[in-house]
Chain A
């Protein structure tokens, strides 16, 4: 029996009605009586000492309520921003995490660093007053490039980080890798740069702080992917207010892609200032501020080598990476180039030994942290560029080389040399499916046709794997995480049979209000329109670790299933009592409870009503029908698949035209295929953006951000992208009750490698991202 709008149905989204009619409530849509407006004075320099700040003229400006500097926050005992993941270097020392004040105290370390917070009756007045603040800077020489920052003699950004080093980390068996290389028939080498990106969710970050002098409660409305984590950090480390007096609300959030995970200076300053002035304060970033201060992504420089035998089998893999952390260590920055990167370097391949070392360092740039995929796109890019290079060196077809080295479908659980245990998968199946979809074998004929038309055609493959469903608490704890990464849920029946589901996951475009409601509908037989999913408010939801790392369904959805199981267990007792049967004889399917072998049955709605009006009720049972559950995953999940890109390049202009895209992804079981397809489309688009269009650029000498607006940073537009052909395979995840793996990041992980392999295939030479027309044209016209 299947249920209407249940698991597996492409249910149209419940949340869409408010968004398509203009009735969403994004942060800047919220206003409070008596609200003042905040504006940040930001550093115009990449690196400077602050010798003096003179606020006198600004404080006297019209409409100014107050102006705060770093000294005011320090005097109030407000702590600095923290990094929640400790990395240990090769020599056993902890990573260097220099102080990171919300408002600068004695120095600024990137363009856009916060210097003062001006609060006025109107935003315009706040901006005008900020112009009157006189800051006496001693300008220092900045460094923005990670390789230069790690060179001896580079400007020293923090006293606490000698040589600008955050950590020098390693993973894997160096001796085994060295031995394998010494005996290898072939060694292939690559040098790749993973370009720095700006996440650019369309809703800029914003914060609205409120203080209730009566209760002493602070309420922060903020653009967050994880409001409970924000509350925890602001309470425990910054000391803004105890958790019981701090409410954090993340309402409709217009995209995140990782950038809204982190606890930022603007949000902490806004909520602190609201209490200082005892008035609501609102701050909304403009796009320029978003480019300057939203944590960036990627920015790796990598050298990699692959050892193979005479038969084309991989023997060992060696990777050395420099990772740019920016000016300060953001909330989860340290984990991205280590445990979200090095652990994925086995890709889909059986590689006997792997060794990876990562040097992370500070520069005078915006902090870098997780951006869609977070470490896994960087790993996939290295692995898949490497595989193509090795195949080329060995004169093998790149798909044949991969198929020869894939972990086989009967090998699970498969332990990699980089501490992951893959639980399920069928990599050859997905690759062969993608090859069929794009008619891989017909490529030579299409290439000949392109050549006849004066064009250059290329095809590129990426077989990716990611570790999602983040994450088993004990595992991540042993690797340095400061938190557990479980999720919580409450399923609450109302007496009239409707259901309210509280989840610690947060939706900012993923469609949880629909997907999670489908689970309830399917398992408890409640019509989907009678299910309300509540998220994003610390005063409503028990607790939550939030949404990132494609974890919401695998972890948050599993917590909901656990709560449903408790509801069913209790309902069986009530049903047994009402139908005068023993509990063991009660059968349950999709919200109908029946007595085995009879036609007696009760619906979930009838039982819920009985639980709230317990006139005829088991004596030993509590009334009510609401259950809480916390779910801690047993393992990561391992979505995987193959994407194939086909391009045609015009040698006259260097413009890359994506003529076809085929994706075969294994996400395990799927609740809503329509939403999953949409996630893949969006991920691939961001990956194509990285490969062809996007890149954060700093001026080397001044450290100024040159790509600070949509005039300069090339976002993918509709006419830059093709339509996509996507399909799925399914090996259910064995470690969670839904059998799901997660789909949010796959596209962004697979696409850059697939597209760049296609371009390299067309050009016959290596090229770095973004493959702009100029770069491609130069590559064609150079020797």
Chain B
């Protein structure tokens, strides 16, 4: 067992974990933050996307020990003081989700996308979201949501 320490959604957490524990397992099983989902075994679907030190990361591709000392944000930490992040609000306003399973990962990826591309074109959004699979929406309203959020975020 190895001790890991990190800050998750602003709270310091510490646990003894097996060295092969994935970050997503640590988040879901140790911290019981179940908003981060697992949709595949090959790091393709992006349902497990979180932010590690401000960058989006597929948390199934990273060991918990690799995040030792890091600042991690999950979907549960995105809203501040009960107020939705503009990306969350845009997904709701633009019907950017249906079953909701891919949504946390999609939103975390999209927040990072807008951080790096404050005024993204439709083509940029589609290319950037290539690593997040949604089976319900056909992406039409996800693209619309991200565009709207970028505008609201001052892009």
- Residues of A in contact with B (beta carbons under 8 Å apart): 12-13, 15-26, 28-29, 200-204, 252-255, 257, 286-288, 508-511, 674-675, 677-678, 681-686, 709-711, 715-719, 721, 723-724, 747
Q: Mark B130-148, 1 if CB is under 8 A from A, else 0.
A: 1011111111111100000
Tell me if B98 counts as interface (CB < 8 A to partner A): yes
Closest A residue to B77 by beta carbon equals A22
Contact A202 B93, CB 8 Å, known A26-B37, A718-B142 = no
Contact A28 B88, CB 8 Å, known A200-B135, A717-B129 = no
Report yes or no: B74 in contact with A682, Cβ–Cβ below 8 A.
no
Report yes or no: A709 in contact with B35, Cβ–Cβ below 8 A.
no
Tell me if B125 counts as interface (CB < 8 A to partner A): yes
Report yes or no: B126 in contact with A718, Cβ–Cβ below 8 A.
yes
Report yes or no: B135 in contact with A201, Cβ–Cβ below 8 A.
yes
- Residues of B in contact with A (beta carbons under 8 Å apart): 28, 33-42, 44-45, 47, 74-76, 78-79, 84, 88, 91-93, 95, 97-104, 107, 122-123, 125-127, 129-130, 132-143
State how many angstroms separate the Cβ of B90 from the closest Cβ of chain A: 10
Q: Compute how far the CA of A717 lies from the CA of B45 in the bound complex, rounded to whole angstroms.
A: 10
Q: Compute how far the CA of A412 lies from the CA of B9 in the bound complex, rounded to whole angstroms.
A: 60
27 A/B residue pairs, CB under 8 Å, sorted by A:
A15-B100, A16-B97, A16-B100, A17-B92, A19-B97, A20-B75, A20-B100, A22-B33, A22-B104, A23-B35, A26-B101, A28-B34, A202-B47, A202-B133, A204-B38, A286-B41, A287-B41, A509-B98, A677-B141, A681-B139, A709-B40, A709-B42, A717-B133, A718-B125, A718-B139, A718-B143, A747-B138
Report yes or no: B101 in contact with A685, Cβ–Cβ below 8 A.
no
State how many angstroms separate the Cβ of B45 from the closest Cβ of chain A: 6
Main secondary structure of the interface of A (DSSP, over half): loop
Q: Compute how far the CA of A287 lies from the CA of B101 in the bound complex, rounded to whole angstroms.
A: 14
Report yes or no: B136 in contact with A20, Cβ–Cβ below 8 A.
no
Report yes or no: B139 in contact with A721, Cβ–Cβ below 8 A.
yes
On chain A, the residues within 8 Å of B40 by CB distance are 286-287, 709-710
Contact A674 B95, CB 8 Å, known A22-B35, A717-B130 = yes
Q: Compute how far the CA of A367 lies from the CA of B63 in the bound complex, rounded to whole angstroms.
A: 36
On chain A, the residues within 8 Å of B133 by CB distance are 202, 710, 715, 717
Report yes or no: A19 in contact with B103, Cβ–Cβ below 8 A.
yes
On chain B, the residues within 8 Å of A719 by CB distance are 123, 126-127, 129-130
On chain B, the residues within 8 Å of A508 by CB distance are 99
Contact A13 B92, CB 8 Å, known A509-B136, A681-B138, A718-B125 = yes
Closest B residue to A29 by beta carbon equals B34
On chain B, the residues within 8 Å of A683 by CB distance are 138
Contact A257 B135, CB 8 Å, known A24-B35, A26-B101, A29-B34 = yes
Report yes or no: A20 in contact with B103, Cβ–Cβ below 8 A.
yes
On chain B, the residues within 8 Å of A204 by CB distance are 38-39
Q: Compute how far the CA of A685 lies from the CA of B93 in the bound complex, rounded to whole angstroms.
A: 21
State how many angstroms separate the Cβ of A697 from the closest Cβ of chain B: 17
Closest A residue to B134 by beta carbon equals A202
State how many angstroms separate the Cβ of A765 from the closest Cβ of chain B: 29
On chain B, the residues within 8 Å of A709 by CB distance are 40-42, 44
State how many angstroms separate the Cβ of B114 from the closest Cβ of chain A: 15
Report yes or no: A202 in contact with B137, Cβ–Cβ below 8 A.
no
On chain B, the residues within 8 Å of A28 by CB distance are 34, 37-38
Contact A723 B143, CB 8 Å, known A678-B137, A681-B137 = yes
Determine which of A252, A287, A724 lies in contact with B100 in the assembled complex, contact meaning CB atoms within 8 Å. A252
On chain B, the residues within 8 Å of A257 by CB distance are 135
- Which of A22, A255, A678, A686: most chain B CB closer than 10 A? A22
State how many angstroms separate the Cβ of B63 from the closest Cβ of chain A: 15
Report yes or no: A12 in contact with B139, Cβ–Cβ below 8 A.
no
Report yes or no: B42 in contact with A711, Cβ–Cβ below 8 A.
yes
State how many angstroms separate the Cβ of B130 from the closest Cβ of chain A: 5
On chain B, the residues within 8 Å of A677 by CB distance are 95, 141
State how many angstroms separate the Cβ of A370 from the closest Cβ of chain B: 16
Q: Compute how far the CA of A709 lies from the CA of B39 in the bound complex, rounded to whole angstroms.
A: 11
Determine which of B99, B130, B139 lies in contact with A202 in the assembled complex, contact meaning CB atoms within 8 Å. B99
On chain B, the residues within 8 Å of A201 by CB distance are 99, 101, 135
State how many angstroms separate the Cβ of A297 from the closest Cβ of chain B: 13
On chain A, the residues within 8 Å of B35 by CB distance are 21-24
Nearest first, the 4 closest Cβ-Cβ pairs linking A and B are A22-B35, A254-B101, A19-B100, A685-B138
Q: Compute how far the CA of A212 lies from the CA of B142 in the bound complex, rounded to whole angstroms.
A: 43
Report yes or no: B99 in contact with A509, Cβ–Cβ below 8 A.
yes
On chain B, the residues within 8 Å of A723 by CB distance are 122, 140, 143
On chain A, the residues within 8 Å of B123 by CB distance are 719
On chain A, the residues within 8 Å of B38 by CB distance are 28, 204
Q: Compute how far the CA of A254 lies from the CA of B97 in the bound complex, rounded to whole angstroms.
A: 11
Report yes or no: B97 in contact with A20, Cβ–Cβ below 8 A.
yes
Report yes or no: B122 in contact with A710, Cβ–Cβ below 8 A.
no
Contacts beyond the supplied A16-B97, A204-B38, A255-B99: 13 A-B pairs with Cβ under 8 Å? A19-B97, A21-B76, A24-B100, A255-B98, A255-B136, A508-B99, A678-B95, A685-B138, A709-B41, A719-B129, A719-B130, A721-B126, A723-B143
